[in-house]
Amino acid sequence: MSEFYAVTLVATALVFLAAFSSLIAFRFGAPLLLLFLTIGLGAGVDGLGIEFSNFPLAYVIGSLALAVVLFDSGFGTSLQSFRLSAGPALTLATLGVLLTTLLVGVAAHFLFGLSYLEGMLLGAILGSTDAAAVFFLLRIGGINIRDRVRSSLEVESGTNDPMAIFLTIALVELITTGSGSDGLSLELLRLFIEQMGIGLILGLLGGASIAFILRKLQIEQGLAPIFMLAMALMIFAFTGLIGGSGFLAVYVAGIYAGSRKLPSTVSIKRFQDGMTWLAQIIMFLVLGLLATPSQFPEILLPAVLLALFLVFIARPIAVWLCLLPFDFTQRETGFIAWVGLRGAVSILLGIVPVVGAMENGQTFFNTAFIVVMISLVLQGWTIKPLAKRLGLIIPPRIGAIDKVELDLPGTANHELLAYRVVAGSPVLGGERIPRWAMPSLVIRDGKSMRYQYAGRLRENDQVYLFIAPSYSKLLDRLFATEAPVEEDDGEFFGTFAISPSTHVRDLDEAYGPLSITDSERGKTVAEMITQRLGGRADYADRVRLGTIVLIVRDIDEHGHIATVGVSMEPVEPATTWPIFLNLRELAHATRDYLRRKRAAARGEIGGEK
């Protein structure tokens, strides 16, 4: 019994340390997942001496944690964002993983002396980007980039795991059984279609079941998130049990359920945020404990070279080839190539050769671990500086806002929001709250009063409003501070503005010839932009027309384009080889970042001398 308490104490202490260390990571901008992994390493057999070598158990724990992360990732991805980025993201998730596998496999053959088949296995292990790392850095790291670029990266990271897992398991089975190559391609193709097809179908059915149960049954608010998580894990397990891809199924179920208006949404989101954090912490701690750093030196040099090959050559080439048919600028393509972080998935797949009793199984695991560490350090620390350097950070539309979403029992047709009136917000400047917002209560100096009798709103007033879903963004502008204006915002949104009702043919006559079709000549600029963006335009979306770029400057309350900016700067073609841009821009971004760090250390920033 005492041994049980000791294990529990150590495990909870490690989780607490990882959670507490996140405060340090947020303060200094360190990749948080790298920190979790390092804590696991430090507590392991070569650190504090905790011996954990149960690879099958680690694989089970990691798979369940990854399923939780993928479901939450899908739940937070809007259906519109998925539609907008489905083409490029799914191409990267399938063809991109396959190309990366082939390129890394050839490099591994020469660096490690492996057979080509074993090299392909190492390539498959390292072939997918990590959903936890990508979602964390883009959503929590404060990197606000164009919706299509961000969605493409997020959807890719959520959907490429099944491809990498499929290739890894298939290659391990092929190598260990020594099967011949006759009919291998057709068999692998059949298995791939079967796993992905079953995963997609059961994911959609599972997502619909989650939405139906939560909307039809009167579930107590505190139990609703538990019901959802339990059903998500059931979908994951059942799909895998019948031969489908459980990871794809749970991600698709998350997207479907997240696109539906569900009761207790606020409670569900808060619960899932906590569970996702816990899943990531446990997953990285367990994988860190599993590693043995004393074994790293014997493969360190080829592993480092393979990591650099993956980051600077294999990933950029795969991304460049996959995005050729899509309308991405050179800088966006370069950024997507750089945000190819490897993480827990690669380490998790590195366990498969060990569990499969392969002769060089430990080598695959150790190599994957080293590559992930390098990726998190090299890419994780430079994503935001690089995005700034490439001019991809979108200027804020509104300033700071203090808003709380509250659950409204009994109906999903209205939302209850609470805003605190902050200094500089339009409502303090005389802007009136529209009647459709149904303002009902104001709390001022601890006293509650009806909105009708509150008079003019004051700073720090708490205002409660009932609104219809999807209208909250319109209210955000009324209760937010003024957006900070940077010097280069004008450059981001173009040299000048034009009316969205301008006809494309007039634009072509003035600045042409532009890359437009005959059918587009008769449309307005707004219609053409909306059509090219898949039926919906959003703030800061960009459309390239040969020598000019059209930028959506603002959206009205009905979701229509209100203002369009025109950039006359030369635009790099999307087909330009991206690797040279990556190296040059990364060098500049890294140099500037290190200079700022050194200046801050000397006290030259923040008014200190």
Question: Which pLDDT score, from 0 to 100, does residue 493 have?
Answer: 76
Question: Which pLDDT score, from 0 to 100, does residue 608 have?
Answer: 38
Task: Kindly state whether residues 345 and 429 are assigned to the same domain.
Answer: no
Helix axes 344-355, 265-290, angle to 10 degrees: 50
**Any domain includes 491:** no
Q: Residue 582: which pLDDT band, with cuts at 50, 70 and 90? A: very low
Q: What percent of the chain has pLDDT over 70?
A: 84
Number of domains in the chain: 3
Q: Which two tokens stand for residue 81?
A: 């964002």
Task: Kindly state whether residues 347 and 252 are assigned to the same domain.
Answer: yes
Which tens digits make up the pLDDT trace of 268-319?
Answer: 888 888 898 899 889 889 989 999 999 999 999 999 999 999 999 999 999 9
What CA–CA distance (Å, rounded) separates 167 from 146? 32
Task: Kindly state whether residues 355 and 237 are assigned to the same domain.
Answer: yes
pLDDT at 253 over 90: yes
* Domain enclosing residue 533, as ranges: 496-567
What CA–CA distance (Å, rounded) separates 82 from 76? 11
The more confident residue out of 588 and 103 is: 103
Task: Kindly state whether residues 106 and 224 are assigned to the same domain.
Answer: yes
Question: Which pLDDT score, from 0 to 100, does residue 126 have?
Answer: 94
Question: Which pLDDT score, from 0 to 100, does residue 358 have?
Answer: 86
**Any domain includes 120:** yes
Listed residue (372, 318, 392, 370) closest to 551, CA to CA? 392
Which tens digits make up the pLDDT trace of 510-538?
Answer: 887 888 888 888 899 999 988 887 777 87
Segment 526-553 shows an average pLDDT of 83
Q: What are phi and psi of 462, to 5 degrees?
A: -105, 120
What CA–CA distance (Å, rounded) separates 379 from 371? 11
Task: Kindly state whether residues 407 and 380 are assigned to the same domain.
Answer: no
Most confident of 66-70, 104-108, 138-142, 336-340: 104-108
193: burial class by Cβ within 10 Å (0-12, 13-18, 19+)?
exposed
Task: Kindly state whether residues 138 and 53 are assigned to the same domain.
Answer: yes
Average pLDDT, the chain: 82
Segment 551-564 shows an average pLDDT of 82
pLDDT at 605 over 50: no
What is the CATH number for 471?
3.30.70.1450
What is the CATH number for 42?
1.20.1530.20
**Any domain includes 484:** no
Task: Kindly state whether residues 366 and 408 are assigned to the same domain.
Answer: no
Cis peptide before 297 (omega within 30 of 0): no
pTM of the model: 0.79
Helix (H) or strand (E) holding 3: helix 2-28
The more confident residue out of 360 and 109 is: 109
User: Of the given ranges (19-23, 37-41, 101-105), which has the lowest mean pLDDT?
Assistant: 19-23
Task: Kindly state whether residues 376 and 442 are assigned to the same domain.
Answer: no
Task: Kindly state whether residues 430 and 298 are assigned to the same domain.
Answer: no
Q: Residue 452: which pLDDT band, with cuts at 50, 70 and 90? A: confident
What CA–CA distance (Å, rounded) separates 191 from 312? 32
Q: Given 345, 360, 389, which residue is the final one in a domain?
A: 389
CB 382 within 8 A of CB 596: no
Which tens digits make up the pLDDT trace of 89-100?
Answer: 999 999 999 999
Q: Given 389, 412, 433, which residue is the final one in a domain?
A: 389
Listed residue (594, 219, 585, 178) closest to 388, CA to CA? 585
**Any domain includes 429:** yes
For 107-116, b/e burial (b = at least 16 CB within 10 A) is: bbbebbebee
The more confident residue out of 481 and 62 is: 62
**Any domain includes 60:** yes
Q: Which two tokens stand for residue 104?
A: 């890394």
pLDDT at 101 over 90: yes
**Any domain includes 307:** yes
Q: Would you give the DSSP letter of residue 245?
A: -
Task: Kindly state whether residues 157 and 133 are assigned to the same domain.
Answer: yes
Q: Given 417, 452, 479, which residue is the final one in a domain?
A: 479
Q: Residue 607: which pLDDT band, with cuts at 50, 70 and 90? A: very low
Q: Would you give the DSSP letter of residue 436?
A: G
Which tens digits make up the pLDDT trace of 107-124?
Answer: 999 999 999 999 999 999
Q: How many CB atoms lie within 10 A of CB 274?
A: 11
pLDDT at 53 over 90: no
pLDDT at 575 over 80: no
Q: What residues pair up with 542 in beta bridges, in sequence order?
A: 551
Question: Which pLDDT score, from 0 to 100, does residue 311 have?
Answer: 94
Parallel, antiparallel or unpaired: strands 542-545 and 439-444: unpaired
**β-sheet with 548-555: strand ranges across:** 496-498, 561-567, 548-555, 542-545
Segment 576-588 shows an average pLDDT of 48
Task: Kindly state whether residues 365 and 420 are assigned to the same domain.
Answer: no
**Any domain includes 486:** no
Helix axes 344-355, 55-75, angle to 10 degrees: 150
Most confident of 307-311, 429-433, 560-564: 307-311
Segment 198-224 shows an average pLDDT of 88
**Any domain includes 77:** yes
For 426-464, b/e burial (b = at least 16 CB within 10 A) is: ebbeeeebeeebebeebbbeeeeeebeebeebeeebbbb
Task: Kindly state whether residues 222 and 285 are assigned to the same domain.
Answer: yes
218 SS3 class: coil
